[in-house]
Chain A
Amino acid sequence: MELLDMAVLAGAVLILLGQSTWLYTDARGRSRYPWFWAIWGLIQCPMPLIFYWLIVRRRKR
């Protein structure tokens, strides 16, 4: 595996973990299925963020 590949993989892991952690803490504070958002946030990016923004953050305003 090349160095670039490794860097991309590490970046993807960090982004997914960061996204998932943020989704979990924010959804936990709002009592909106934190584990659902966190697990979805581990699988892909940025769909969970977009949906979270539309469904939880925007609707609450």
Chain B
Amino acid sequence: MTKRGRERETDGDLGGNAGPSRTSGEQRETEAEEAKAFEELLGDSLRGWDARIEPSVPHLLELEELVSSHREETRRKLRRELAKLWLLGLPIIVGMLMLFRWNAIVFAIAQGAAVTGAILFLAVDSRRNREGKRRWSS
């Protein structure tokens, strides 16, 4: 153990009140000595290390590119989904029109079934939401 370490240990054991405590001037001197020693030992290496590390700050142009590419991707996804919807929609609409031309009563029943199904779905969803909220708040 170093001399300084031993001194520190002794100070700790005595708790500052027991023996003759060091004056603040002495303490300051010791701290300055330690700082000097630290500077001599590691100062250059630390400065070199700091100089080597350069935080990579993204350029404004890169950020703009990132945002525009994300927007383009979102738009492309929406277009793809809309194309899917229209592909699905055409047979449904044509089917409903053919049903109407074939038999108006069956068409009316299908329309009624669609409304009933939709309302049932919405009611179940609303009930599930209310239950979830109640469970969350209690």
The proximity string for A residues 27-56 relative to B, scoring 1 for CB distances below 8 Å and 0 otherwise, is 010000100101110111001100100010
With A16-B89, A40-B118 already in contact, the answer to whether A25 and B96 are too (CB < 8 A) is no
User: Which B-chain residue is minimally distant from A55 (CB atoms)?
Assistant: B122
User: Smallest distance from the beta carbon of B51 to chain A beta carbons, Å?
Assistant: 49
Interface of A is mostly: helix
Question: How many contacts between A and B, using CB within 8 angstroms?
Answer: 51
The proximity string for A residues 3-24 relative to B, scoring 1 for CB distances below 8 Å and 0 otherwise, is 0000001001100110011001
Task: Tell yes or no: B85 within 8 A of A by CB.
Answer: yes
B residues apposed to A, CB below 8 Å? 78, 81-82, 85-86, 88-90, 92-93, 96-97, 110-111, 114-115, 118-119, 121-122, 125
Question: Could you list some 12 contacts between A and B, CB below 8 A?
Answer: A9-B97, A13-B90, A13-B97, A21-B82, A21-B85, A25-B82, A28-B78, A33-B125, A42-B93, A51-B118, A51-B122, A55-B122
